[in-house]
Every structure is written in structure tokens, then in C-alpha cells.
A and B are shown apart, each in its own frame.
Chain A
């Protein structure tokens, strides 16, 4: 096969896999920001927390990072519920949420980050797992397992959550709660409880996303910040409230960034992906699949 065509196809495929990773880190924000109207910019810090939990279990006990994430899910879910409860009592209940809520999550971001620095230091940490290192070779195509496994896990998580949101009563209430909380009360649902559950779920995804992150690359506590802009860009690009749109946006950005990095150098990647965001929003202000 022609060398540059092979390069192109490999760039596209690794972009797709990268997109799967982006979907995993963005899905929590797609719930909190996209469905609940809560600007949780601290989300990447909790993804990092997930990474360090996976790191600890891996170095101390030799547990697989993805298995750790599954075990840690309930704890992250409860942590998310607790954070929402504080946010609700301090801001939302007093209709104070827009600006003060934003500063609350900013504060939370720094507290979480500093806590991680104090415990783990600023060195890069990584995990060991059998799928980190080897690649699948399909002819000219090279599929690194450390990208392929996270991609599959991420898609599983997206599909699972999508089914929950569209098929369960609680899920449907989550999709509707931000549109009209009083109307939801008239459906016999307590909007605060619904939001608490949704925020818990949003945090639970951080456990998985964190494990995926540390499988893909070594982490240090402030690395989450690199993702904040990209995560919100993906949610807005996909259309707030739409998981399918978010996945399409994540994969699009993944492919665009991978192609840019391959042919023009990695430093151009963010500029090009935000260019895609601006052009899409100019054409479709509500995002790819926004309602």
C-alpha cells in the first residue's frame, strides 16, 4: 500500500479511537451541563481522581484499572450526590446558581487538584495492564490496544447510559428536569432527587473516564485542565442534551485532531478543532443533534 494513504487511514482510525476517549471524558458534562444546566467545570478534576484511584489499586494491589473503576463506581456516585446536595443547598435553592455556582465549581476544581498534588505530588504516574503496549495488526492497519480497549469501554458506557435515560422513568425525568422543574413535580417526581441521581451518575462516569485516561497516557494532577475546553466544546458541538450528538462531536474532533497532528503537527490540533466548533455553531447554533 502507498505510504501516505496508509498514514492517512491510520490517522483516521486513531482519531476514531481518540474520539471514543473524548466521549468518555465528556459524557459526565453532557449530563451535568447538557441536561441539568449545571456548569460543572470541576469534572476533569474528578476524572483525575478516578485516574489516581486506578493508579493506587494498580500499584499497591495489582488490580486492573478498568476493574477498579467498576468497583469505585458506587463511591463516585455517592460523591456526586453529595456535591450536588451542597450545590443545591448553597446556591440552587436560593436561585443563586449561575455565577456563584460557577465559582463553586471553580473552587472545587482547585481543591481537588491541590489535594491530588499534596497526596501524589506532581510527577507523572502510570498503570500496568496487559493491553497497554501490544497492538492489533490488521494488514496495514495498526490498532494499539491501549486505545482500542478504552474505546470499547467508552462506547459501552455511552450506550448503557443512553438506554437508561430513554427507557427508564428516572432517566426520562432527568432529560426533562431542567426544562420545567414545577411541571416535573406535577408528574409526581421530586426534581431535586432527580437532579441528585443525575449528578451522581455524572460523577460515576468520571471513575471510568479516569481509568481510561491513565490507560491512554501518564497523568499528573493538573492535566485535567487541558480537557476542560475540549469537553465543553464537544458538548456544545454535539448539541446539549444529546448523547448521540456528543459522540459524533467527540469522534469528529478526535479524527480532525489526529489528522492535523499527523500532517501539520500536534500544535495545530486545538486551533483546528475549535475552528470546527465555530463553523458548526455558525451553521447550526443548537449543535449537531441539539433540539
Chain B
């Protein structure tokens, strides 16, 4: 069943500082949408607004999960996750003193995910064999790349329908970035997910995105209907590729 996400005319910020202005975007069922923009343009704030961590001052955010529509503004973060929307935040936010397995089991806290634990755990260990090798290691003692894998796997343990990922490439070596992006594609297909991914690394994000939005100074500056449209856009040449 279809799961999608719609953000309509959202304003949001911190105290008196307004970061997002009249932002609208949609992620249709089964799509991978990239949210592109350099640091400080509001990508993370938009992600946090969707997840109920930042409360928008205006606008609507609606999620359709398996056909049922839910308004997200005003709900707590835990309620939003419980609906079936998982979030891999910037900085990964693992539980550093818990083992890999303990982190994964915490990912399955959501009541709907509990019956699928064994299947999800198998899937995660299959997709990330490294995590299986390190199952008993403390999360905080792993490398950045391994931690990013664990953060993705932990989000999937909640059996989400929609997955939000904030800056998966931050702090990773170039080779690991492309491997992480490939894994996101693999997970999306394996779990039949709808994905919204915020990323600074334009070339990597566009490899797996169906389409994307460019956010500049808290406004959607360009909506590219395909990866080619993004590749050929003037704004992107100007802001990203320096051409």
C-alpha cells in the first residue's frame, strides 16, 4: 500500500529566527527524493519539522501511511515514528554505550515492528555483514562508516514505510559515501520504502534520486522533476558545481 509525504507552505525556525519560509514539497509513494542544499539553508530544519522535533509556525505536513492520511504538525516525535516514519538524523545519534545488537533491538521498540524483529534483523545483517561481525561491540567504538550503517539499520528495524535521512555522507571518506548511497538504494528496494534524503553531496545524491528539490536560504529554489533536470539546472551549476 502506498505511503507518501506532503509538506505544504511550512514556515519554521528557532525562536525569533525564521529558517524555513513557505516550503512545499512532496514525496510520492515509492520515490527517492533528494533535498539538496549547502550548509545552513534549512535542510535539517525541514527534516526536524517533519519529525516533530521543530514545531512549524505555519503550514501543514501530511503523511499517508499505507493509504491512511495523518497530519503530523502537533504530534510528538515518538508518535510520528510510531506511524511508520523513521529518521536517520545528522550525526547518527546512536546509543554509544550499547552494543550493535542492543542498538538494533532498540530500533524495534515500535510495537508494530516487534513481530518482525527476527526477519528485520536477518535483513540488516545480510545487507550489512559488518554489523553481524561486530554484533557485540559497543556502537561508540566503531568507525564512522560502520556507525552510519548501524544508524540506517537501526532505523529499518522499526519497519518504517517512509524513511528520512539527514546527510548520510557527512564525515565519511569518499569511497564510503558512494557505498552508503548504494546501500540506501538497496534498502529502499528491499523494504519498499518511500525515501526523503537531505544531502550536500549533489553528485552522489542524484545517482539514486528520482527527483529533487534545491533549498536556498530556507526557500525551495528549484524543483527538478528528474535527475537530468537537476544535473542541467543553472542554480545547481552556480551553487554546487561552481561552473
* A187-B76 contact given A172-B102, A179-B95, A179-B98, CB 8 Å threshold: no
In the complex, A183→B114 CA distance in Å?
18
Q: Is the CB of B102 within 8 A of A176?
A: yes
**Contacts known (A185-B76, A190-B78); A176 close to B93, Cβ less than 8 A:** no
Partner of B81, one of A172, A175, A180, A186: A186
> What are the interface flags for B111-138 relative to A under an 8 Å C-beta threshold, 1 for contact and 0 otherwise?
1001000000000000000000000001
Structural contact, B94 and A187, CB atoms closer than 8 A:
no
Whether B106 and A187, one on each chain, are in contact in the complex, defined by CB atoms closer than 8 angstroms, is: yes
Partner of A186, one of B93, B102, B114, B138: B93
Q: Across the interface, do B81 and A183 meet the contact criterion of CB distance under 8 Å?
A: no
The CA of A284 and the CA of B86, in the complex, are separated in Å by 38
- Whether, in the assembled complex, B180 has its beta carbon less than 8 Å from a beta carbon of chain A, the answer is no
B78→A189 contact, CB < 8 A: yes
Instruction: Please determine whether A188 and B109 come into contact, CB atoms closer than 8 angstroms.
Output: yes
Among the listed B53, B77, B97, which residue makes an inter-chain contact with A291, where contact means beta carbons less than 8 Å apart?
A: B97
Given A179-B98, A190-B76, A291-B97, residue A185 in contact with residue B109 (CB < 8 A):
no
B89 at the interface (CB under 8 A from A): yes
Query: A183 and B94 in contact (CB under 8 A), knowing A175-B102, A188-B81?
Result: yes
A187 touches B81 (CB 8 A): yes
A182 at the interface (CB under 8 A from B): yes
Enumerate chain B residues within 8 angstroms of A180, measured Cβ to Cβ: 93-95
Do the beta carbons of B110 and A176 come within 8 Å of each other? Answer: no
Asked whether B93 lies within 8 Å of A183 as measured between CB atoms, the reply is yes
- Chain A contacts of B108 at CB under 8 A? 169
Assembly CA distance A176 to B138 (angstroms): 12
- Assembly CA distance A44 to B158 (angstroms): 40
Within 8 Å of chain B (Cβ to Cβ): is A173? yes
Which residues on B sit within 8 Å (CB–CB) of A185?
Answer: 53, 76-78, 81
A172 to B104, CA, bound (A): 11
Say yes or no: A187 contacts B102, CB within 8 Å: no
A241 at interface (Cβ–Cβ under 8 A)?
Answer: yes
Looking at the assembled complex, report how far the CB atom of B224 sits from the nearest CB atom of chain A, in whole angstroms: 29
CB neighbours (8 Å) of B78 from chain A are: 185, 188-190
Beta-carbon contacts under 8 Å, B141-164 to A:
154-155, 158
Q: Beyond A186-B87, A291-B138, is A173–B76 a contact (Cβ under 8 Å)?
A: no
Q: Is B107 within 8 A of A187, CB to CB?
A: yes
Contact of B95 among A169, A176, A188 (CB under 8 A): A176
Which of B53, B82, B98 is within 8 Å of A188, CB to CB? B82
Q: A183-B94, A185-B76, A187-B158 are known contacts. Are A176 and B81 too (CB-CB below 8 A)?
A: no
CB 8 Å contact bits of A162-198 with B (1 = contact, 0 = none) = 0000000100110110011011111111100000000
Does B105 interact with chain A (Cβ within 8 Å)? yes
Name the distance in Å between B80's Cβ and chain A's nearest Cβ.
9
- Cα(A131)–Cα(B98), bound, Å: 42
Q: What residues of B have a CB within 8 angstroms of the CB of A173 in the complex?
A: 106, 109
Question: In the assembled complex, how far is the CB of residue A288 from the closest CB belonging to chain B, in whole angstroms?
Answer: 16
* Interface residues of A, Cβ cutoff 8 Å to B: 169, 172-173, 175-176, 179-180, 182-190, 241, 291
**Top 5 A-B pairs ranked by shortest CB distance?**
A183-B93, A188-B81, A188-B110, A185-B77, A176-B95
Besides A185-B78, A185-B81, A187-B81, 13 more A-B contacts (Cβ < 8 Å) are A172-B102, A175-B98, A179-B96, A179-B97, A179-B98, A180-B95, A183-B95, A186-B81, A187-B106, A188-B78, A188-B158, A189-B78, A189-B109
- 30 A-B pairs within 8 Å (CB atoms) are namely A169-B108, A169-B109, A175-B102, A176-B95, A176-B98, A176-B102, A179-B97, A182-B77, A182-B93, A183-B93, A183-B95, A184-B106, A185-B53, A185-B77, A186-B77, A186-B81, A186-B86, A186-B87, A186-B155, A187-B110, A187-B158, A188-B81, A188-B158, A189-B78, A189-B106, A189-B109, A190-B78, A241-B97, A291-B97, A291-B138
